[in-house]
Amino acid sequence: MPTKKSAKPAKSSGTIHLKWVRSFICAPVKHKKVVKGLGFTRLNQVIARPDTAAIRGMVAKVPHLVEYVDDAVTVRR
């Protein structure tokens, strides 16, 4: 029998910076939970999160509310 190779976790390249750019008023409850799950507390907030598949998947669910930011000068924790 051939042996199965175990899936290796993807290497994270550090952190990504996210900005909450649009209010989730009138958004579905699932979208509100994703934004809160990412750790946002107020609009236009920039946060740093680990660059993992889980975080990128959450951002992919709400691309109209959250965007990636290159400039990390105003990161709040």
How confident is the model at residue 37, as a pLDDT?
97
- In order, the DSSP letters of 32-74 are HHHHHHHT--STT-EEEEE--HHHHHHHHH-TTTEEE-S--TT
Do the beta carbons of residue 55 and residue 46 sit within 8 Å?
no
77: Cβ contacts below 8 Å, ≥ 6 apart: 47, 48
8 lies in a domain? Answer: no
Could you tell me the pTM of the whole model? Answer: 0.74
59 lies in a domain? Answer: yes
Structural domain range at position 45: 15-68
Can you tell me which residue has the tokens 């965007």?
A: 67
Domains identified in the chain, total number: 1
List, for residues 25-48, the tens digit of each pLDDT value. 999 999 999 999 999 999 999 999
Q: What percent of the chain has pLDDT over 70?
A: 74
How confident is the model at residue 71, as a pLDDT?
66
7 lies in a domain? Answer: no
CATH number where 22 lies: 3.30.1390.20
